[in-house]
Amino acid sequence: MERPKLEFKEEHAAGSGLYIRVDEVLYTGRSDYQDIFIFRNEFWGTVFVLDGLVMMTERDEYFYHEALVHPPMVFAERTDRVLLIGGGDGGSVREILKYSPREVEVAEIDAKVVEVARRFLPTGKYLDAPNVKVDITDGARKVKVSRGYDVIVVDSTDPVGPAKVLFTREFLGDVREALSDGGVVGMQVGSPMFYGEQVRETYAVLGELFEDVRFYVSFTPTYPSGMWGFLLASKGELKFRREVKGDNRLLHTEDDIRALLSLGRGYLRVI
């Protein structure tokens, strides 16, 4: 008798969502903060799920990680010291390392995420690069007591639970203080289709705190609506200061970055 097939379902809105067949369960458990599920699918490869929401799949994670990391890295005056808040899966670390920073600090609140990423995710190996330091800590506390970062990347989960604080005015103000002169912050803000109010509010707060702010979107196949929003903010004018680095799949040139940023204002008008 054939065993019934396992299914993963993620609801995005009433009556719609994401379905992925579970071909092999790699890990299931719970940390101090969230449920963790990792499985294999024939098409998507390794799939990483937190609290029932897909964080990344092996097949499409580069859409998100390249879009999140490369814009702040090409616009910042320097890229010597980089702070990554969240990002315990290692995908954003991989992109940051393409710019040869002297030091990358990863502030990940959930030690279990780092543990399972190293064991099961193809991106987990980048957490062990010699210039990467993983600090199991609350990123909101980290920016209150740290200074001198050239780039801060906020690779958080959705604004619920422990990640909710990463979208507040207090946190974003602390981020500004933690940046060096000419520093840039890049952050994800969710789907403009489902989180339009959050996008508008965060954009407005950054506009009050920083000299230059941009909103942009990237195609993200397994995220809600297939489109994800990002914000970029700088202590100074946002302008290209270096070429795009790395053997990338999505972003290769300055023109690619310009194209990524080009539709942001249009989306802000309609969400």
pLDDT tens figures, 94-104: 999 999 999 99
Residue 122 has pLDDT above 70, yes or no: yes
Question: Do the strands 6-13 and 53-57 form a parallel or antiparallel pair, or are they unpaired?
Answer: unpaired
Same domain assignment for residues 125 and 48: no
- Poorest-pLDDT segment among 89-93, 96-100, 120-124, 187-191: 187-191
Query: Of 170, 211, 209, 172, whose CA–CA distance to 189 is shortest?
Result: 172
Same domain assignment for residues 167 and 250: yes
Residue 20 has pLDDT above 70, yes or no: yes
Active site annotation includes 138: no
- Poorest-pLDDT segment among 98-107, 109-118, 262-271: 262-271
Domain end marker among 20, 35, 54? 54
Same domain assignment for residues 98 and 216: yes
Same domain assignment for residues 46 and 68: no
Structural domain including 19 reads 6-54
Query: Of 83, 114, 125, whose CA–CA distance to 101 is shortest?
Result: 83
Catalytic residue among 155, 174, 255, 256: 155
Dist CA 105 CA 103 (whole Å): 7
On whether residue 1 sits in a domain, the answer given is no
Same domain assignment for residues 118 and 33: no
Question: CB within 8 A of 263, min separation 6: which ones?
Answer: 216, 217
Q: What is the pLDDT of residues 59-70, one digit of tens each?
A: 999 999 999 999
